[in-house]
Amino acid sequence: MMQPVDAVSSALERERARRGGTLKPIEILKVAFSAFLSATQSSEGETGASAFASPERQALARGNYAAVDALLFNANYWRAAYEDRIVEACSNPDEARVCLEAVSVWNKNTLRLNHLSPNEVRATFERFCPPFAVNQRRGSQNKARKGKGPLPEFRLALDALAEQGATATSLDGLHRVLAAMEEEAATYEGLAPTGSIDALHVILPAWCLQNRIELVSGSWWDDSLVMGVIIDALARCFRELNFADPICQYFTEACYEALDAYHRDLTSDPSPLGELSVTQLVALVQEARDMQPNFETDGYGRTLPSWLISKEQLIWNVLVCAVYGPTTVRPFLFDSAELMAREGYAGKTDVMTELAQTSFVRYTNDRVASQTAHEYTSFASLPTDLRESSIAYIASIHRKLETLGYEVLPLGSCYPDQQVTAFTASEVECLAILEHRRWLDERRRAGWHYGATKDVENRLSPYLVPWEELPDRAKEWNRSAVRSIPNLLASVNLAVVK
């Protein structure tokens, strides 16, 4: 019988060959998990804790691709978290089938990962993991939680069972399960405004402690050889996608560090907190984090199991990075002074000044092109206050970009489709207006006033007017400045990112 690590390695190589040598990061996980499940099915025997198992659980045990898709995006959450409790509450398998079909409603849509773009992968991940969308569909504004989704469908199933004469014992047990689901859903909805990634950062350790959903309870996390193959395959893929080498190296090191730490503390003893609700566990984790502000590197102290921080980091580094790229690795990448040194920033004593000098050359060329006189031939010849003004423009770039929902990151730190190499005409106009407003405020605070002609000594400028009153050539200078931002940042290995 083939060992799981060999099955995973072979499956990845076969799929790479079939695809012409290219696999998406999320497809690496899909192929690897499917191969692992297929290889371990016969040795693990029973597919679930109960004698009856849903079709979804059976398909997952066989390594069915559609079932693995649902697992990776957590579309199977409510089935996975509550299947055993539902089966235990039912008097017979027919009742269990009705209920499990209701909570598996989202599993029926095939996700087809190989057809999704990186943006679509992220959007799908945010839709299901964490499970915010339980009540965010049509009719969800109704306080009785009507609408579409696993919980409303489960409630309808209970009503149908009551009409069909199900026993009081079954109905009582199932309504207790529904109450637990409602409480858990409310916890997720309370975290929804923080955004998917921040919320998952809070929820993931609770899931690890409860250990009910296959996403975190899968035995592949406990197989260091299999995880090593997956980590190496992801790092290779990130390099093929042109992520910077230092970032890929940092990703690899962080993954292996988490893997080693998890296996060092791994225990076969069940978690003493496993029977607590997710709501209770989220509160416990948050309390531990408040007490241990450096929990990312120091762990949770004695309040939670020693393996918890490393397991949640391992799952995060493999799963979340496959969706969002290696810069989302934990510990957080951009807190690393060592990485910034590798990127070359440490050798540049003043990146802001370098950018200001490059921007000044562009500005001078624009003045020449518009046949407008310019007083200074070099950045060094500028008076101190004008040099500072040039640097202030550079310092303001990230704030203007945030207005458009963009940010500045090291070049090669994101998927290619996230990088912005040129702005639209409307974006250029918006940025140009914002820049002129910033410059007006800065000049006025520096003691400058309107004057018909420019007079540096007396701090007068004809351009100290609202945007609408600016001469066309001055408007174009501002547009030219903001158009050049992507290329300007690229000169120091930075990028504008969606």
Confirm if 164 and 65 have CB atoms less than 8 A apart. no
> Structure pTM?
0.69
User: What stretch of H or E contains 130?
Assistant: none
Distances, alpha carbon 219 to alpha carbons 39, 44, 55, 215, 222, in Å: 12, 10, 20, 10, 5
Candidates 81, 109, 90; CA nearest to 157 is: 90
Confirm if 109 and 73 have CB atoms less than 8 A apart. no
Q: In whole angstroms, what is the distance from residue 461 CA to residue 269 CA?
A: 75
Q: In whole angstroms, what is the distance from residue 450 CA to residue 464 CA?
A: 5
Alpha helices (H) in 211-350, listed in sequence order: 214-217, 224-240, 245-265, 278-291, 295-298, 308-315, 321-324, 337-343
Q: In whole angstroms, what is the distance from residue 414 CA to residue 298 CA?
A: 28
pLDDT in tens, the chain (498 residues): 689 999 999 999 999 999 887 899 999 999 999 999 999 985 544 444 455 889 999 999 999 999 999 999 999 999 999 999 999 999 999 999 999 999 998 777 777 777 888 888 998 899 889 988 554 444 444 444 445 788 888 999 999 999 999 999 999 999 999 999 999 999 999 999 988 999 999 999 999 999 999 999 999 999 999 999 999 999 999 999 988 887 888 899 889 888 988 888 887 777 778 899 999 999 999 999 999 887 887 788 788 998 999 999 999 999 999 999 988 888 733 333 333 333 333 333 356 677 777 777 777 776 666 666 566 667 777 777 777 777 788 888 888 898 899 988 877 777 777 889 999 999 999 999 999 998 899 888 888 899 988 888 888 889 999 999 999 988 998 898 899 899 888 887 788 988
Candidates 339, 308, 362, 312; CA nearest to 412 is: 339
